[in-house]
Structure 1
Amino acid sequence: MPPRYELVADALRAQIMAGTLRPGSLIPSAGALAHEHGVGRDTALKGIAVLRREGLLFLAPDKSIRVGPVAGRATRGPLSIPDDVLDVPPGGVVSARMPTRRERERFDLPEGVPVLVVRTGAAEEEVHPADRYGLRLP
């Protein structure tokens, strides 16, 4: 069973994708979400944070959390074949993280897309956009 905050995020995501929560609209408060889903307020806030990282929600200038614009939304669709495949050498270590502002600009990444970091030695590190590369392990 997924963590409870993921259930909150999944419920909100479904409402956004169905159009029940329209772009620019306020989402329910963390307290209301907590009550609706039978979780604590911190759990509801964690679910909201997941959707903010995905780019589905944003913090408006008035400090409210609102539904983001339709264009560029991250969705959980079927896996696609990556543009390129990276061969990870024996002993190589791969991790994923959110990109820095500079990396996002360099790779022209939309908000919410992670990067893959391939470490092949003590000081050798390659960074690749995760939405364009697959990995081939030894």
Structure 2
Amino acid sequence: MPPRYERVADALRALIMAGTLPPGATVPSAAALAREHDVGRDTALKGIAVLRREGLLFLAPDKSIRVGPVTARPARRPLSTPDEVLPVPPGGVVSARMPTRRERERFNLADGVPVLVVHTADGEELHPGDRFAVRWH
């Protein structure tokens, strides 16, 4: 079972990905999250910190924690030739997002490297963004 702070982060991440917490929305306070998830305030803050590192949350000028907009970030290292080019079938959709802790471990990704999510009629595939490129037909 994941640590409690990861469960808080996973719950918030799910709300963000579902659009329940859209870009610019204020995240509930650490105290409110602690009550909701039956954890301590420090544990809730640690969950928020995970999502801040992933780029999903940011500290606003008014000191509130808000859902971040999707923005382009400079590459941390020079772009290289991808290991593999993924063909995207007709009707397929590709998006990019920051990986979860488990996905970062699974793909051995450095902080700041996104995953590519390929949605097809057959389901969803994840690929490390630093090693794959996509090609539409």
Task: Identify the TM-score tier after normalising by the shorter chain.
Answer: 0.5 to 0.7
- The alignment of Structure 1 onto Structure 2 pairs a total of residues equal to 91
Residues 34-113 of structure 1 mapped to structure 2, 5 A cutoff: 34-71=34-71, 73-76=97-100, 98=111, 112-113=112-113
Indicate the RMSD between aligned Cα atoms, in angstroms: 3.0
Match of 2:58, SS state, is: strand
TM-score if structure 1 supplies the norm length? 0.56
Judged with a 3 Å threshold, the aligned counterparts in structure 2 of structure 1 residues 13 and 96 are, in CA distance, closer, same or farther, namely closer
| Deviation for aligned residue 1:69 | 0.7
Residue identity over aligned pairs, in percent, reads 72
Residues 14-29 of structure 1 mapped to structure 2, 5 A cutoff: 14-29=14-29
Match of 1:5, SS state, is: helix
Provide the C-alpha distance between the structure 2 equivalents of 1:7 and 1:39, rounded to a whole number of angstroms: 10
Runs (5+) with no aligned partner, structure 2? 73-96, 115-127, 132-137
Judged with a 3 Å threshold, the aligned counterparts in structure 2 of structure 1 residues 97 and 74 are, in CA distance, closer, same or farther, namely closer
The residue identity in structure 1 corresponding to 2:19 is G
The residue identity in structure 1 corresponding to 2:64 is S
| Deviation for aligned residue 1:10 | 0.1
Match of 2:9, SS state, is: helix
TM-score if structure 2 supplies the norm length? 0.57
The residue identity in structure 2 corresponding to 1:132 is D
The residue identity in structure 1 corresponding to 2:4 is R
Provide the C-alpha distance between the structure 1 equivalents of 2:69 and 2:110, rounded to a whole number of angstroms: 24
| Deviation for aligned residue 1:74 | 1.2
Match of 1:58, SS state, is: strand
Provide the C-alpha distance between the structure 1 equivalents of 2:98 and 2:44, rounded to a whole number of angstroms: 20
